[in-house]
Amino acid sequence: MDFRNGQELLELCEKYGQPISEVMLEREIHCGNLTHRQIEERLNRVMDIMRASAHAPLTKPRKSIGGLIGGEAKLVHDHGTSAANVTGSILSKAIAYSMAVLEVNASMGLIVAAPTAGSSGVVPGALLAIAEEKGLSDRVLKSGLLNASAVGYLLMRNASVSGAEAGCQAEVGSASAMAAGAVVEMLGGTPGMCLHGASLALSNLLGLVCDPIAGLVEAPCQSRNTVGVANAITCAELALSGVTSLIPFDEMAEAMYQVGTCLPAKLRETAMGGAAATPTGCALCHRDKKES
């Protein structure tokens, strides 16, 4: 039941008449030597952590260790529930949740790296917002998590999810692709639609650099998670509407990796370029060193 690329994954889905989540479940059982019960327990644990990290900062904001973020998620959440809301309930909630998870991570709280700490807000932001707003069950949410895991597995195997290796496109971009595929399945899309959504998500964030201010996983990481979650929901909408990606998922994953290897070191998590190298970014770095 193992698969090496998106094409093999789709072939398994077609052969057994199963969604991506079920194929991923069987892979974990046969290749990971796990039982149904063990997988269920792990999924429950992941859901609990994701919910806690997405919800807690909305009522009790915490300042980050580096002092660059903290409280933004509550501001967005409060604005999203007001008459001044711009994006609608689903996207407002997803944005707030994605920011909240980054606040928990930056204040040494417990999060699920999905696939990394710096991109950890995208998957829970999208999946929890969709599940809550659409009234979906935990069973459906777990199918989304398994789907996201399959996409993440393929990207780790064939491309990269490391900002140091391939820029933020490999972190937030990969997380966005994972979330897009998951949302499509949660809302009834086919396996093919899921990978179209994932491919579109990757293409939209192609070339995104990794330039953490002061070398901290705080800013612009937090706001980029909001872009990732908005991109995921948008691409899920496209895929569910029947819009397809001109470039197949496997080719887009390879393109993302090739773009990442072309990025100069300054733009791959070294904090020597981009936003981190601006005068204000450098000043914040010096402030951080003085305070430490």
Question: Residue by residue, what is the 3-state secondary structure of the chain?
Answer: CCCCCHHHHHHHHHHHCCCHHHHHHHHHHHHCCCCHHHHHHHHHHHHHHHHHHHHHHHHCCCCCCCCCCCCHHHHHHHHHCCCCCCCCHHHHHHHHHHHHHHHHHHCCCCCCCCCCCCCCCHHHHHHHHHHHHHCCCHHHHHHHHHHHHHHHHHHHHHCCCCHHHHCHHHCHHHHHHHHHHHHHHHCCCCHHHHHHHHHHHHHHCCCCCECCHHHCCCCCHHHHHHHHHHHHHHHHHHHHCCCCCCCCHHHHHHHHHHHHHHCCHHHECCCCCHHHHCHHHHHHHHHHHHHC
Mean pLDDT of 220-245: 98
Task: Compute how many other C-beta atoms are within 10 angstroms of the C-beta atom of residue 15.
Answer: 9
The verdict on residue 248 lying in a domain is yes
Mean pLDDT of 114-140: 98
Give the pLDDT of residue 98: 98
Phi then psi for residue 46, to 5 deg, are: -60, -45
- Euclidean distance between the first and the last CA atom of the chain, given in angstroms as a whole number: 50
Which residues, 6 or more positions from 62, have their beta carbon under 8 angstroms from its beta carbon? 70, 103, 104, 107, 109
The verdict on residue 1 lying in a domain is no
Give the pLDDT of residue 292: 43
Boundaries of domain holding 204: 6-291
Residue 286's pLDDT band (cuts 50, 70, 90): confident
pLDDT at 91 over 50: yes
Please tell me the total count of domains within the chain.
1
Give the pLDDT of residue 256: 98
Q: How far apart are CA 64 and CA 219, in angstroms?
A: 11
The verdict on residue 287 lying in a domain is yes
Percentage of the chain beyond pLDDT 70 is 98
Whether residue 186 contacts residue 143, with contact meaning beta carbons closer than 8 Å, is answered with yes
Write down the mean pLDDT value for the chain: 96
Q: How far apart are CA 45 and CA 142, in angstroms?
A: 11
Residue 290's pLDDT band (cuts 50, 70, 90): very low
Give the pLDDT of residue 285: 87
Q: Is the pTM of this model over 0.75?
A: yes
pLDDT, one tens digit per residue, over 28-56 is 999 989 999 999 999 999 999 999 999 99
pLDDT at 78 over 50: yes
pLDDT, one tens digit per residue, over 141-167 is 999 999 999 999 999 999 999 999 999
Residue 71's pLDDT band (cuts 50, 70, 90): very high
pLDDT at 22 over 50: yes
Assign residue 277 the CATH number of its domain: 1.10.4100
Q: How far apart are CA 166 and CA 164, in angstroms?
A: 6
214: left (phi over 0), alpha (psi -120 to 50) or beta: left
The verdict on residue 107 lying in a domain is yes
Handedness of CA 24, 202, 185, 231 (dihedral sign): positive
Which residues, 6 or more positions from 290, have their beta carbon under 8 angstroms from its beta carbon? none
Give the pLDDT of residue 28: 96
